[in-house]
Chain A
Amino acid sequence: MSRPGAVLEVDRNSPPTLFHFGEGVRLERLPLGSRILYPPDPLEPIAHPERAIRRALAHPLDDDPLKELLRPGMKLTIAFDDLSLPLPPMAQPDVRQLVMEEVVELAAEAGVEDIHLIVATGLHRRMTEDEIRHIVGDRIFTTFWPDCLYNHDAEDDDENVRIGTTPDGHEVTLNRRAAESDLVVYVNLTLVPMDGGHKSMATGLATYRGIRAHHNVDTLLGSRSYMHPPDSQLHHSCIQQGRLIEDHVRVFHIETSVNNHAFPTVANFMQKRETDWTPADQATYLALKRLSDLAPRDLKRTVFHSMKAPYGLTGVNAGQVDQVHDRTLEAVRKQMTVEVDGQTDIVTMGLPYLGPYNVNSILNPVLVVCLGLGYLFNLYRGTPVVREGGVVIMTHPCRYEFDSVHHPSYIDFYDEVLADTTDPAQIERKYERRFAEDDWYRQLFRKSHAYHGVHPFYAWYWAAHALAHAGDVIVVGGEREVVHRLGFKAATTLADAFEMAEQTVGRYPSVSHLRTPPLLLADVR
């Protein structure tokens, strides 16, 4: 039985605390009395994933068995989540591979001749051949690539259709192949409560016109948090769009959840609480610390990005999306929830090398904000861990460093937009449409492996709630100029950051540290 999440108080005997620092790690001493929030240990995975998947397909929730939905002559489309999930990428075999192999096998038995597999990239970058192969496995890849297995193209006007308008007046668009199919099977992997449900189809197979309905400052400010769907306007909007899609096309939803076993054996110490570290863990920490201090950036990046997570399947459900998603969220919360008593004045977080939008790439300054203030800050239910007007302290080298292939529009966003303003609402008003409709970004998005021109805006909007909530944001170890461009304060050491924070929250503030990844969901009471 794995241990539940815990909140430990720092005392005189506590070991130092691990902070992620981009492609590196640090040990830091937190003030006495600080709280450290630890996620639960990984849940025991399902022993026979294939058997569980077959059972889920044969006994779906509020739906007919998949086998009965398949018939010769039909048009079948299987859509699946892209590489932004899970993080880090899962060691082979990926659970999506296992699920899709079962679905394809059923389709072959039923004699379905017309079948397409689509990577639901939404406005994310096109996945490369190797990345797709990694997710779907060799067998599916060799059978379907490239004619019947491909990335969704949100900028191909011929290959997307307008489905209609939601009661709130939002446009809904969908990939043409999916819209014209007799059945769409969506294969999802839910890592955090934000993922999955109606959001999968409503964003993964949509276009900018559909996605902008919920990816905007207003909606995200009203999502408190978007890691808790009932309190999230983002999800309410996605649900409306998803229902409209379901009125138009028959969808069979398959959702999987995994435990939080996020690091391979070589980096096991990152998985453990510091009080559990053995001498071997300490030695590994020292080795990794030296490597990250001394090695060139490219080498560090290669080493860190080559880590694949040995996630274990904890749940698989199929059928109607609402019922399926409820079950999935239950499994995800069980893995992530930590009960926390009350808010604090300061929250600290060590930002790792990886967020959803830089798999095999660089975590540029805009993505640093998205990861820290967008994702980690929002990992709560109820109220944020830090009080309103409190201080968020993040550790990250925060360099002026961009991947020009994956993130071309991010470079211009940083140089042009952030030089003007960091206010999300103003940014949205003044700049969004121009970037979203820029022909050159559109070309790179469609033909290269670039994120959509509008994507840096969304990354920034994710942080809108945190920017409005926090009194101050301090980045420890970041390049001063870059941190200032982002609108934050730069500190050299954590001790300096606490000193600076006292000017905002007063002397003797309370401190909480999010010891993540692995990810946790703070249930603040």
Chain B
Amino acid sequence: MSLLDDVRQVRRGWHWGEVKPRSWPERAPAVPDRSSNLGWARSEPVRSARWLLQKGVSLPFTRVMANPDVRGAEWMESLERPAIIAANHSSHADLQLLLYALPDRARERTVVAAAADYWYQRPWLGRLVSLWLNTFPFSRTGGPQAVLHHSSQLLKSGWHLLIFPEGSRSPDGRLQEFKPGVGFLARETGAPVVPIHVRGGQRIMPKGRAYPLPAPAQVRIGRPLQAKEKESARAFAGRVESSVRELAAGSSGPEVVGSWIERWRAAELRSGATARGRS
């Protein structure tokens, strides 16, 4: 069967514009409605297309524009399970620099939280960034529950989650206060947080400029942090912030040994939720 035959079969198969026969059942969605999470962006063949786009276009372009100096990538390689990657944010160029800095395996498994009210106002733009950068809409204004639920699902599904805890780009390149969301998320999921500091993004593409200019950049990846037993979300967010500040200043830990219970606790992905649910 040629393509034309197939199209003709489909075209004639359904009687558009005609009254539906009584024998047809009531139309209904076959599957329950769910809010869009752009799951397609994390499935094949989109992943392969993104890999090609990044390897063929974005990463070489980033290298030419910034020749980033990356330190601490071994921390990403040492991760045995999905983590939250928390970085400072001063420019649209930051994300490209961060993706450049991540090891290949981690990059392919990283999903980026992008401001829903900025990137997803226009559907075509949302789809484009989701395709190119593997973003998903992250509400800066909505209820924390929905955001947390979706983000924790991604972490449980094996994706690293890259977020900018400052909430928006710094106007002058200085580090702003971290919002407690990163703490809530880490507490909720028990995932480790990898602090990263990016320097130079602001010179490449400062807030307000629509195109990039070449400038050197540095990316410092720090030791993964784990929320402590009784540490509040806000306090933990503060600790992550301090860690990023230390990386900005120029600084970096031990493997878990012992019984399976110690390894289990160290790999505590959902401890927060579990403890709360049981109490």
Q: A residues within 8 Å of B by Cβ?
A: 2-3, 6, 8-9, 11-16, 27, 41-42, 44-45, 50-51, 54, 91-93, 101-102, 104-105, 108, 111, 113, 115, 137-139, 142-144, 148, 261, 264-266, 268, 271-277, 282, 285-286, 289-290, 293, 302-303, 306, 308, 310, 312
Contacts and interface: CB of A to CB of B under 8 A. Distances in A.
B30 A41 contact: yes
B257 interface: no
A102 to B, nearest CB: 8
Given A15-B13, A27-B9, A275-B24, 4 more contacts: A41-B28, A138-B267, A264-B43, A302-B44
A14 B261 CA distance: 60
Contacts of B15: 13
B158 A138 contact: yes
Nearest to A275: B24
Contacts of B27: 275-276
Q: Which 9 A-B pairs give the minimum distances between C-beta atoms? A: A138-B81, A92-B157, A272-B30, A13-B21, A139-B269, A142-B80, A15-B13, A306-B44, A16-B13
Contacts of A44: 32
A293 B43 contact: no
Contact of B264 (A93, A108, A282): A108
Given A92-B156, A108-B265, A27 B30 contact: no
A15 B14 contact: yes
B35 interface: no
A340 to B, nearest CB: 16
B25 A3 contact: yes
Contacts, number: 132
Contact of B28 (A104, A113, A276): A276
Contacts of B259: 113
Nearest to A53: B277
Contact of B260 (A14, A51, A143): A143
A138 B80 contact: yes
A436 to B, nearest CB: 37
Contact of A261 (B18, B31, B81, B273): B31
B80 A3 contact: no
A71 to B, nearest CB: 14
A290 B3 contact: yes
Interface residues of B, number: 48
Nearest to A11: B23
B28 A148 contact: no
B39 A265 contact: yes
Contact of A42 (B7, B24, B32): B32
Contact of A289 (B6, B156, B157): B6
A13 B15 CA distance: 7
Contacts of A285: 10
B82 A142 contact: no
A11 B30 contact: no
Nearest to B12: A16
A260 to B, nearest CB: 10
Contact of A306 (B3, B29, B43): B43
A8 B39 contact: no
B278 interface: yes
A144 B260 contact: yes
B260 to A, nearest CB: 6
Given A11-B23, A92-B158, A286 B10 contact: yes
A142 B13 contact: no
A16 B9 contact: yes
B61 interface: no
Contacts of B251: none
A142 B263 contact: yes
B168 interface: no
